[in-house]
Amino acid sequence: MLHAAKLKAEICMGAVENDGSYPPAMAERLERALTEAGVRSTTRTYPAAHGWMMPDFRVFDSAAAGQG
């Protein structure tokens, strides 16, 4: 993450276990970059699929969405 040191706000991220567009290695790199830049951040990985919080998506997961 090239610009992590420029961030001024705390970052809250939600990810899912079943999401090929955000693999674990990418998540680790992002979290490491934020930590090294001193950016306060919180990350939570949900046991769901990409699109899980969108009620009109076929993968909507109301139980997981209620946790977010």
Query: How do residues 4-46 score in pLDDT, each as one tens digit?
Result: 889 999 999 888 888 888 888 999 999 999 999 999 999 888 8
Burial 8-19 (b: 16+ CB within 10 A, else e): eeeeeeebbeeb
- pLDDT for 42 equals 93
Give SS3 for 47: strand
Domain range annotation of the chain: 13-65
Q: Distance between CA 8 and CA 39 in Å, rounded?
A: 8
User: Would the pLDDT of 67 be above 70?
Assistant: no
- pLDDT for 10 equals 94
- Give this prediction's pTM: 0.71
Rounded to the nearest angstrom, the gap between the alpha carbon of residue 28 and the centroid of all alpha carbons in its chain is 11
- What's the rounded mean pLDDT across residues 57-68? 76
Q: Distance between CA 55 and CA 4 in Å, rounded?
A: 32
